[in-house]
Structure 1
Amino acid sequence: MEVTRHCCRYASVGDKGEILLGRNVVADAFYKRIIRVVTHAHHDHTRGLPSSVKWSIYIVATPVTFEFLKLLGYRIPEEKKLPLGYRAPVTIENETITLFPARHIAGSAQVVVESPSYRVGYTGDFKLPGTPPLEDLDILVIDATYGSPKYQRRWSDWEALSALISLIDEKIQQGPVWIYAFNGKIQEIMIELRKRGVDYPFLAEPIAIEMAKISSREYRVELGDIRPYLGGEVDESAVVFIHTSKSNGKMRMRGTHVKLTGWETRSIVRMVGDNVFRVSFSDHATFREIIEYVREAMPRQVIVDGYRGRDAWFTAKYIEKMLGIPAVYMPVKRK
C-alpha cells in the first residue's frame, strides 16, 4: 500500500512505535524530537521514556498520567513536565498541542497538533462510547488493536461486566476470587464493580492500590474496603487483583481465578481449567468501534497504527473501500 508524501511529512508511525505528529512532536515512543507526549501510562506507550527525558525539552501528559508515571518509577524533572488538562492548548515552536479525552484508563488522552499548514491527530488507545472523535483533521493516526472482524466480540462491555459480577457472586462463597489484568484495567474494573454495588473486600498490591486511589478520585467513586495484598494464600472471601505478569505464580492458590482479556471471542465467560476462567473484557475499541470512530471523525487521510495493532492492513483497506477515505498502515509489516 503506497504511503503519500503528505502523509509521511506531517504524520507517521515508526518502526519502534513512535507516532510522529507535525514537526516537533512524538508520542508514545522515543524519537529525537523536542516534545514527547505520553498518551497514557501503559508500558507499550511509555517506551523509551528515559531517553525522551534526556533528549526532549518537554514531556507532555495529563496530570493523572504524570501521577501514574511517578508511581511506576519514571523520573521526570519538574522543569521538563508539561501537564495539560483536556482541551487546554499550548503553543510551542509555531505548533499548538491539545489533549482530548480518551476512554481507556484514567488520564488517557488523544492528541492534536496543528499549525497554519496542517492539523493532525492521534487517538492513542480508546474505546467507545466515551471517546469524542477528533474532527477536521488532515491526518488521523488511529489505534487498531483489534484490526479485523475476526477479533470482534459479539457482546458489549456492559454484558461482560455483568457476567463478571455474576461469576464473582457465585464463586466468592467458596473463597477468594483472583482477577488478573494489567494496571489500568485493574483500576477500571475496581471502579466499575464499586459503581455497581459490589462491596466485597478488595485486595491488591500496594502500587495497584495507589493507582486505584488516583483513579477513584478522577472518577469520583469510593473504593470502600481495599487492603494491600502482600503475598501468600488468602483466607477470606475477597476479590484479589493481581497483575497479569504474575498470574503463573498464583494459579495454585485456593479460590477461583479469572483472567480478563479482550482476545477471548468464543464466549463472554469460558472455563479453561479447574476453577480458572477467561472473561472477555477489554479497554480497547472493537473493530466496529474503530470504523465508527473514523466515520464520525471523517479525516482527510488515515494512518492505522500497525505497530501495536493486529491486521492493521485490513483496517486501512476497509476504511478506503467502505468509507472512501485514503488510508495506509504503518509501519509496514508482513500480513
Structure 2
Amino acid sequence: MDAKIDKNGAILLGNNFTVDGYSNRPIRVVTHAHEDHMKGLRKSIKESIFIIATPITHEFLNILGYHIPEEKSMKLDYDKTIDIMDEKITLKKSRHIAGSAQVMVETKNGTMGYTGDFKLPGTEPLKDLDTLVVDATYGNLKYQRGWADWDALGALMNLIEEYTKRGPIWIYGYNGKLQEIMILLRERGIKNKFLADEKTLRMAQIASNYYGVNLGDTTIFNKELVEGDSIIFVHTFRHQDFSRLEGTHIMLTGWELRGIAVKVSENQFNVSFSDHATFKEIIEYIKESNPRKVIIDGTRSQDSWYIAKYLSKILNIRTEVEPK
C-alpha cells in the first residue's frame, strides 16, 4: 500500500495509518483539532489501537470532548520517529494552529507524507518522499490573496482601535484561529478585556503557554460582563446567535477575496485572515519538497483538478486527484 485518499476523506498512509478520517485501520492520526479533520474520531477511539497526535492536539481534543483512554493515547512530539508494526511515523511541525502537524510514514515500499493544513512561511516542506498528499483548499489562482496575514492582522487592529470607542467588538472564527488572534493581539499591545466560552478560553490558555504569551484580562463569556471596550471571541457557527447584539461584528474568513477588510453592513466586517496556504504557496511548497508523485486531496477543495493540471503540465510532476 502506497498512499491514497478514501471516499470519506481519510488519508491512508502505509498499511496501518489513517489520518484525519475514519478507516478500519489500527492507528488513527489527528493532524490538528479542527472539526473537518476529526471526522469519525469517536469511532476510531473505540476501534483503533492508538490515537496519535501532538501533545497540544491531544489537550485540545480532551477539551472538545474526545476522551481517549490513556492506553490508546499516543502523544508524539515533533521530529520524533517511532516504529509501529514495521512502519515508521514522524510528525513534522506545520504553521496552521497550535499543535498542528504534517505526517511522514516510512514503509518497506517507500516513504510518503501528508501536509495536513498549512501555510507559508513557517512550514518546512517534507522531503525525500515517494508520494506527497497535499491539502489544496485554495488550489486555484482565482483564490489568490494579494496581501499577507500581517496585512489582515493590521486591518483587524485598525478596526478594533476605531470601533472600540463605539462599543464591544465581536470576533468570529474557528477554533485555533480565535486562539491565534487572541495571542497576536496581546503581543501587539491590545489590552481590552477578552471574553469567550469556556472551551475557547481553555484552548487559548494552552496555546498561550505554547507560544509563551500572557493572555492578560480574560474571562468566561456572560452578557452581564460585557463592557464598552470588551472583545468577545465567538465560534463562526454561532454568528447568527450574536450578530444582532450591540457592537461591531468582525468575521475572520479566508474566503473574503474582495479586500483585506470589507464592510458588509453598518456594523459588520469581514477580515481576510486565513489559516491555509494560497495557490502560490502550495506550488512553492511542492517545488521545494520535490516528491516523485503528488496526490491532491479532492475532498477539501472544489478546484483540485486545477492545481493537479498545473503540476502535471507546467511542472511535469506526476499528479493525481483522490478520491477518484
Distance 2:191 2:135 in 1: 35
Matched, 1:194 2:186: yes
1:4-60 alpha-carbon deviations (Å, 9 max, x no partner): xxxxx3101111010000111110000011111000010100100111112211110
* Identical positions, percent: 54
Conserved? CA contact 2:165–2:228, under 8 Å? no
Unaligned runs of 5+ in 2: none
SS class of match (1:68): helix
Distance 1:290 1:231 in 2: 42
Q: Tell me what 1:108 maps to.
A: 100
Unaligned runs of 5+ in 1: 1-8
Matched, 1:19 2:20: no
Letter in 2 for 1:282: S
Letter in 2 for 1:169: E
Q: Tell me what 2:62 maps to.
A: 70
Conserved? CA contact 2:164–2:228, under 8 Å? no
Conserved? CA contact 1:233–1:254, under 8 Å? no
SS class of match (1:323): coil
Aligned with 1:96 (options 85, 88, 99): 88
Q: 1:62 to 1:222 in 2, by over 3 A?
A: same
Q: What is the CA-CA distance between 1:184 and the residue it aligns to?
A: 0.7
Conserved? CA contact 1:234–1:254, under 8 Å? no
Conserved? CA contact 2:119–2:276, under 8 Å? yes
Q: Tell me what 1:29 maps to.
A: 21
1:132-169 alpha-carbon deviations (Å, 9 max, x no partner): 00000000001011110111111000011101101110
Aligned with 2:273 (options 267, 270, 281): 281
Alignment of 1:79-158 (within 5 A): 79-158=71-150
Please tell me the root mean square deviation across aligned C-alpha atoms, in Å.
1.0
Distance 1:96 1:14 in 2: 21
Conserved? CA contact 1:176–1:240, under 8 Å? yes
SS class of match (1:213): helix
Query: TM-score of the superposition, structure 2-length normalised?
Result: 0.98
Letter in 2 for 1:40: H
Q: How many residues align?
A: 324
Q: Tell me what 1:178 maps to.
A: 170
Letter in 1 for 2:123: T
Distance 2:10 2:223 in 1: 37
Distance 2:184 2:166 in 1: 23
Letter in 2 for 1:34: P
Q: Tell me what 2:46 maps to.
A: 54
1:174-227 alpha-carbon deviations (Å, 9 max, x no partner): 111100001110001111111112111111111100000000011111111111
Q: What is the CA-CA distance between 1:228 and the residue it aligns to?
A: 1.1
Distance 2:224 2:273 in 1: 27
Distance 2:224 2:310 in 1: 49
Q: Tell me what 1:4 maps to.
A: none
Letter in 2 for 1:329: V
Q: What is the CA-CA distance between 1:315 and the residue it aligns to?
A: 1.1
Matched, 1:300 2:292: yes
Distance 1:249 1:232 in 2: 16
Matched, 1:323 2:323: no
SS class of match (2:241): coil
